[in-house]
Amino acid sequence: MATHDGRRFVVRTCFALSMAFALAGAFAPRTAQADAGDFVVRNQVFDGKQAIGGSTTIFVGGKAFDFLDEADEAVMFEPTAGRITLIDVKRRVRSELSLEQLAEFIERMRDRALRGGSDFARFVAQPEFGERLDAETNELVLSSPLLEYRASTTAPRNADALRNYQTFIHWQAQLNCVVNAGATPPQARMKLNDALAARQLLPERVTMKRPANIPGGGKTLRAEHSYTWRLDDAERRRVVDLEQRLTTFRVVQIGEYLTPAADR
């Protein structure tokens, strides 16, 4: 949820925020050293100067919990268990999606775009970027005639935190394409994720721009991420409370979970 392309979960996007990690061992196992990979990311998304959404992502115990700021919803990422759980606290429902199912869905989406999508859809399904890193500012730029990313970056606290975040944004970018109707394939954002991972960097500010001279262009979106390298008691309680309440929620299929109340 920590990114932005005009969707049901405003802060989870296909701009949004890859690495081909194996499911086993993608997150650090829960050991005496696991706290090294526990941290919090606060995310804000802007359309121009207007804030359009935000979320708080808590990494703890080998899992990631993404809480929307303006809705009683969350997503729990469990890479070592091979699943993602979408949670609607207000409706008291949850829906599980295996990482294998998600990867298969994204591959079908990519194939459809390459066979019959628009020029932009075909590009983001199989993107080719020029890539450069400003050594003085640490700004990473991925550029093309159809799409540009600019990412201001920072160094992670340690390797555990870096690995946990990279794994999270790998699957998050793909999940955005499931929960947001009309989304385009996530491979362009995943290229940015790969470029960050190759340099062992985390994004602090990511700007996505489409040129004004192309259909649907002229749009600039920005995501800002701030990192806190420890969890406070309130954040730990928030996670524990969600996991305890989760066991009482009704399990529904992903289609029912995503269906607006007016259409159910």
Q: CA–CA separation, 149 vs 142, rounded Å?
A: 5
Domain-embedded: residue 74? yes
**Spatial CA neighbour of 10 closest among 161, 183, 256:** 183
- Region 209-227 average pLDDT: 86
pLDDT confidence of residue 36: 81
Residue 32 pLDDT more than 80?
no
Contact between 60 and 18 under an 8 Å Cβ cutoff? The reply is: no
Q: Which tops the pLDDT comparison, 76 or 8? A: 76
Domain-embedded: residue 64? yes
- Region 134-155 average pLDDT: 95
Report CA torsion sign: 234, 83, 177, 16. positive
Joined tokens for residue 138: 């640490």
pLDDT confidence of residue 35: 76
pLDDT confidence of residue 33: 42
Residues 6+ apart with CB under 8 A from 160: 28, 33, 34, 36, 37
Domain-embedded: residue 200? yes
- Region 32-54 average pLDDT: 85
Give CA separation, 203 vs 37, 107, 165, 192, 225, in Å. 17, 26, 10, 10, 7
The CATH number given to whatever domain includes residue 216 is 2.50.20
User: How many domains are contained in the chain?
Assistant: 1
Residue 30 pLDDT more than 60?
no
pLDDT confidence of residue 13: 38
Q: pTM for the complete prediction?
A: 0.84
Q: Which tops the pLDDT comparison, 59 or 29? A: 59
Domain region containing 67: 34-263
Report CA torsion sign: 255, 257, 259, 262. positive
- Backbone phi and psi for residue 156, each to the nearest 5 degrees, phi listed first: -75, 165
- Extract the runs of DSSP E, i.e. beta strands, from the chain: 39-47, 50-60, 63-68, 73-78, 83-88, 93-98, 130-133, 139-143, 148-154, 202-210, 219-228, 250-251
Domain-embedded: residue 12? no
Angle, helices 159-179/99-116, rounded to nearest 10 degrees: 60
pLDDT confidence of residue 17: 37
- Region 3-20 average pLDDT: 39
Domain-embedded: residue 19? no
Domain-embedded: residue 26? no
pLDDT confidence of residue 216: 67
Residue 176 pLDDT more than 70?
yes
> What is the per-residue pLDDT across 100-121, written as a single tens digit (0 to 9) for each?
999 999 999 999 999 998 999 9
Domain-embedded: residue 28? no
Domain-embedded: residue 158? yes
